[in-house]
Amino acid sequence: MGPQKDKEIQWRKWILGGLIALLVIVALQNSQRVTFEVLFASFDAPMIVMLLVFALLGALIGWAAPVLIRHRRTERAVRGGAVDAKEIERKK
């Protein structure tokens, strides 16, 4: 057998796993019912559900914002005629 290669530690997976575990712990500790009011709507649900819904909403916004910004930047470059859009994407 040849020498073993050092395995890289995948920090992103560890951090993500830790954050998910922390979210689950906090959510499980907050099981009382709460009322959430926004504009004319009112929702009554366990806090665990509210925490998970808003955590998912935050993750969706955190994923979508960079995608939309990148798309907007590419569109501006194409409209300006300065550079080819594929070339911009290749540089990133």
What confidence tens digit (pLDDT) does each residue in 12-63 have? 888 989 988 987 888 788 778 888 888 888 988 888 888 788 888 988 988 8
Give the C-alpha separation, 60 to 66, whole Å.
11
Judge whether 41 lies within some domain: yes
Task: Kindly report the backbone phi and psi dihedral angles of residue 70, in degrees, each rounded to the nearest multiple of 5, phi listed first.
Answer: -65, -40
**Residue 30, domain extent:** 11-91
Judge whether 18 lies within some domain: yes
Q: Please give the pLDDT value at position 3.
A: 52
In the chain, how many domains are there?
1
| pTM value surpassing 0.75 | no
Task: Kindly report the backbone phi and psi dihedral angles of residue 61, in degrees, each rounded to the nearest multiple of 5, phi listed first.
Answer: -65, -40
Judge whether 2 lies within some domain: no
Judge whether 5 lies within some domain: no
Judge whether 64 lies within some domain: yes
Judge whether 6 lies within some domain: no
Q: Is the pLDDT of residue 2 over 90?
A: no
